[in-house]
Amino acid sequence: MRYSKQREAIWNYLKERIDHPTADQIYENVRKTQPNISLGTVYRNLMQLRDIGRLRTVEVGDGLIHFDPNPSMHDHFICTECGRVDDIEVSDPEKIKQEASNRFPGRIDGYSAYFYGTCEECMTHKRMRASTNL
């Protein structure tokens, strides 16, 4: 794989992110420093980076592909109010994988869990709306 400033910009943007952006969000942001970059290039690079294990793609239930700069096994929380995606550490992924391997006929290579609910911020908003009758 050769160097390209587009790929560098994409990675530089994504690696700082904890909100698991979509291709389009990444595109819109990378455009600020690389105005001529195209959405196709963004997709191609993201998929390439996934294939070499630098990042992970995540399907959270909204039909869009989200990109996570952390490729290791870990869980996610999705707020059903605002759609934000957070990393969440609930239990030891290796242990769960082991446990599943023992009970399942076949080989288990990895796993990922998704928790759905309302994030702290949205909980506050809901309380505020309730208390002011809005």
Cα 49 off chain centre by = 14
Q: Please, which residue, 123 or 128, has the CB nearer to a second copy?
A: 123
From a second copy, DNA, none, interface partner of 106 (C-beta below 5 to 8 A by class): a second copy
State the DSSP H helix or E strand holding residue 102, giving kind and residue range, or none if neither. helix 93-103
When asked if residue 97 is in the footprint of a second copy (CB under 8 A), the reply is yes
One of 47, 58, 73, 108 touching DNA (CB under 7 A): 47
Rounded Cα gap, residues 97 and 33, in angstroms: 41
One of 18, 28, 40, 80 touching DNA (CB under 7 A): 40
Residue whose structure tokens are 């600020």: 32
The phi, psi pair for 60, rounded to 5°, reads -100, -5
List of residues contacting a second copy (CB under 8 A): 57, 59-61, 63, 65, 77, 79-80, 88-91, 96-97, 99-100, 103-120, 122-123
